[in-house]
Structure 1
């Protein structure tokens, strides 16, 4: 029996944050507030029996929230949205197009984009 992990995530909120116009004018205080709530929920989920493929995505989301809160780069919100979108579609077996950002979906082709972003911004943070 599947656990309904993803019903707890604010996918719609990240849809609003990353629509065609809004992603250019993100309310970073709201982003941080939502991000902190999402990190709490992810930590709660990770304390349970979660598929390892999903765990990778959830850890990436937490890292992106932290990076976005620090550097106010709209790419973080876009990547979070795309991972959540792909997780939602794959986990719930929806018939919809995916972005290819989730590990859970069998290794989305765009995962290296997120990994590279996290790596580059970790190195920048380490240099400060």
Structure 2
């Protein structure tokens, strides 16, 4: 075999090897994302995908949140505990692409628990905006049970996220979702 033929053979080998690696990589990625039901929006952050506008917080808005927390949040600590644990549930089950692969039995059970707990806790709520938010959560929870739509679960997660900010000392945020009446004055 001549020197030129050997070079061509080596080039061809490397091109074939590189092509096979690329094809296997792309194929594996497609299989992984398809198998786990993860969409393209999950690569950024699955919870930021959607039609509800999100908002970066300014110092002034953070001060308003602290004011709401010290008034409404202070007088509803039992509700605040419930909101925090429910928010954690939604973080665990919908984050990192989980919204695209929901366990509907688990989501329906949680929605039923949310309805029962809010019906008990609403009796002690005097703040009208908080009452409106809780009624909205009841409606969306019932809808999630009946229709099994991921958008309803996303809405519930956003309600609990914003209420966790309003009622508790939830610090792992830099945005509010603008879905609650309780934080309306912050907007």
Q: TM-score range by the shorter chain?
A: 0.7 to 0.9
Higher RCO, 1 vs 2 (CA within 8 Å, ≥6 residues apart): 2
Using structure 2 for the length normalisation, give the TM-score: 0.53
Which structure has the larger Rg? 2
Aligned to 1:117: none
| Aligned residues of 1:65 and 1:76 also touching (Cα < 8 A) | yes
Instruction: State whether residues 178 and 184 of structure 2, in contact with CA within 8 Å, keep that contact through their aligned partners in structure 1.
Output: no
Aligned to 1:7: 81
- The residue aligned with 2:153 is 77
Structure 1 residue ranges (4+ consecutive) displaced by more than 3 angstroms after TM superposition:
93-96
Task: Please tell me whether residue 100 in structure 1 is matched to residue 178 in structure 2.
Answer: yes
SS in 2 for 1:47: helix
Report the alpha carbon displacement of residue 3 of structure 1 after superposing the two structures with TM: 2.2
Q: Over residues 56-112 of structure 1, what are the superposed CA-to-partner deviations in whole Å (9 max), with x where a residue is unaligned?
A: 111111111111111111001110110111111122365532111111002677xxx
Inter-partner Cα distance in structure 2 for 1:11 and 1:94: 10
The whole-number CA distance in structure 1 between the counterparts of 2:185 and 2:119 is: 22
Q: Distance in 2 between matches of 1:22 and 1:108?
A: 29
Distance in 1 between residues matched to 2:102 and 2:134, nearest whole Å:
22
Structure 2 distance, partners of 1:71, 1:42, is: 20
How far the C-alpha of 1:23 sits from its partner, in A, is 0.5
With the length of structure 1 as denominator, give the TM-score of the two structures.
0.76
**Which structure 2 segments of 5+ residues have no match?**
1-73
Structure 1: which 5+ residue stretches go unaligned?
Answer: 110-128
Does structure 1 residue 68 correspond to structure 2 residue 141? Answer: no
Work out the CA distance in 1 between the residues paired with 2:126 and 2:112.
Answer: 20
**Larger CA deviation: 73-82 vs 83-92:** 83-92
- Whether the aligned pair in 2 keeps the contact of 1:100 and 1:107 (CA below 8 Å) is no
Alpha-carbon contact 1:86-1:101 (below 8 Å) kept: yes
